[in-house]
Amino acid sequence: MPTIAQQIYDLLSKYTNSIYGNPGTTELHFLKYLPNNMKYYLALHDGVAVGLSEGYYLKSRNLGVVNLHAGPGLSNSFGYIYSAYRNKSPLLIIAGQQPSYSSPEEPMLYYNFSSLPSVKEYVEIKNSKETIKFMNRAIRTCLTYPYGPVVVSLPYDIIEDISDEDVNYGKVVEGNMCSESVIIDTVEKIKSSSQIAIVAGYEIETFDASQEVMHLSNKLNCPIYAEPYLSRSSGIRVNDTLPTRASELNKIIRNYDLVLVLGGELHRVLYMDEDIHWKNVIQVTSDVNEARKRPWNTIVCNLKYFTGKLNELITPRSSPSRIIQRQKRRNEKISNMLKLLLSYTDGYTVFGEASSQGEEIRELFSSTRFYSNRSGLLGWALPAGVGYASAGGKSLVIMGDGSFNYAPQAIWTASRYDLRVKILIINNSGYEALRSRAGYKRDFFSPETHPWRIAEAYDFRAKEFEDYQLAVKWLMEGEERKLAEIRVEE
C-alpha cells in the first residue's frame, strides 16, 4: 500500500513534473518520497521558489507547485504569493506543518494562516483520511478561473501513513462562452459609434486571443492601447500604452464613443487623481471578481470566443478612428539600447522590471512574448524568468539595479540547473523612479551596487559596460547564460 506522500506525488504528476522549493525540517518526510519522474528545483529563498513556479506555469501552462518551510517559509513568500494572486497564476503551495496533534501547544514553526490574504483558499489538513481529498480540492481551486494560488498546510506526522485513497479524480472543464444576444448588442454599439478604441489587457495572452484582437482592430480601423502596466503580451502591436495617472488616461479615452477593454483593467493606474471616465466603456473579462468592481457594462466570458464571434459579425470600417499621441520624456541612450536589444529577441521571452523605463519597455516589447507582474512587487522578474527557462523556455530579463537586489538568489538556481537565461541590468545607481518623483534629494534614493559582481559569485558570466552596443552584442551572442550591466545617467 502506498504512503500519503506517494499518493500526493501520484496526484501531482497528473498536473506537473516539477516542484520548486527551499526545504526545512517540516518538509523532510515529504521530500523523502520524491519520485524520479518529478524534478525538484532548489531556490535559496522561499519567495524566489514561488516566483520560479510562476515562471514555470507561464511557459508550460501547467500547475505551478511550491514546497515551502512552515510558517517562516510562507512569511518569507507573502509578496510573491500576492503577485501570483494578482497575476491570476495557478500555484499550489504546499507548506510543511508541525505534527497534527501539536496545534494546541503552537510549537516553534507552527502557523495558522487561516485568514491569509490574497490566496484563493487556505487548506489546513488535520488527518491522513482527508489529505488526498483536500489536495484534489486545492488543485481544482487553483485551476478554476480566475486562477490563483492556494496554500495547503501539510503536517509532517501523517506523510508516511498508509493510504488506500483513489487518486483518479476528474478535472474541471470550463466553457465560459458568451450568449449570442450579448455579442449582437455589442455589434450594435459598434455600429452606432464613430470613434472606437481597443484597450488590450493581460487576458489576451492568457486565452491566446492575439490574432483575434489584431483582426478586430483591423476590421474596426481603430487603435490599440495597452492597459496601464501591461503585464502579459504575446505579440500584440499597440499604438501606445495608457498612462498610469487617471487624469491623463481620461484625456485619451474621452476622445472615443466606445472603448472596448478586452481582458484588461483601466484602474491599473498608480495615481488615482480622478475617477475613470466610464460612460463609453465596455469591458470583456473572464474574471468575475474584476467584473463586480466596475461601474461600466462588463461581459464575463471567454475572450477568444467573444472576439472571434465579433469578427464574424462586424463589417470592415473605412473611416479610421483617431490615434492620440502623447509627449513622452525618454533617455535617448536607453531608448536606443532597448531598440537594439529588441532586434535580438527572436526566440526569447522578455521579462521586464525596470521601473524607470517600464512604460517604454512595455511599449516596445509588447510585440514579442512579454511578461511583468501586476502587483508592483520588485524582485519578481528574475525568478519568473529563471522558472520559465526551467520549463524549456529562453528568457531575457531586463531589470534595474534596484529590482535586481530584491532576488539575486535566483541566479544561483539558473546556474545550478544550467538554464538559458540572459539578464540586462540598467544601473542608474539606485531608485530613479523615486528620485524623479520625490522633488527632493536624499542619499537613501541612491544605493550604489554592482550586480555583475554578485552574478559572478553565482557562476554567471557577467560584465559591466558603458557602451550599450557592446553590452547588447556581448549579452546576446551564443546560448550561454550571461549578465550584462550597463551604467546610465538619467
How do residues 328-379 score in pLDDT, each as one tens digit? 888 888 999 999 999 999 999 999 999 888 889 998 998 889 999 999 999 9
71 vs 73: CA distance, rounded Å: 6
95 vs 75: CA distance, rounded Å: 11
Report residues of the chain scoring pLDDT below 50: none
Q: What is the pTM assigned to this prediction?
A: 0.95
Largest CA distance in the chain: 73
Q: Are 336 and 467 in contact (CB under 8 A)?
A: no
pLDDT given at position 176: 65
Exposed e or buried b for every residue in 434-472, given b needs 16+ CB within 10 A?
Answer: ebeeeeeeeeebeeebebbebbeebebbbbbbeebeebb
pLDDT given at position 65: 98
pLDDT given at position 343: 95
DSSP string, 337-390: HHHHHHTT-TT-EEEEE-GGGHHHHHHHHTTSEEE--SS--TT-HHHHHHHHHH
| Domains, the chain, with CATH or none | 4-158 (3.40.50.970), 180-313 (3.40.50.1220), 332-487 (3.40.50.970)
pLDDT given at position 490: 62
280 vs 240: CA distance, rounded Å: 19
pLDDT given at position 297: 92
pLDDT given at position 329: 81
Query: Angle 78-87/46-60 helices, nearest 10 degrees?
Result: 20
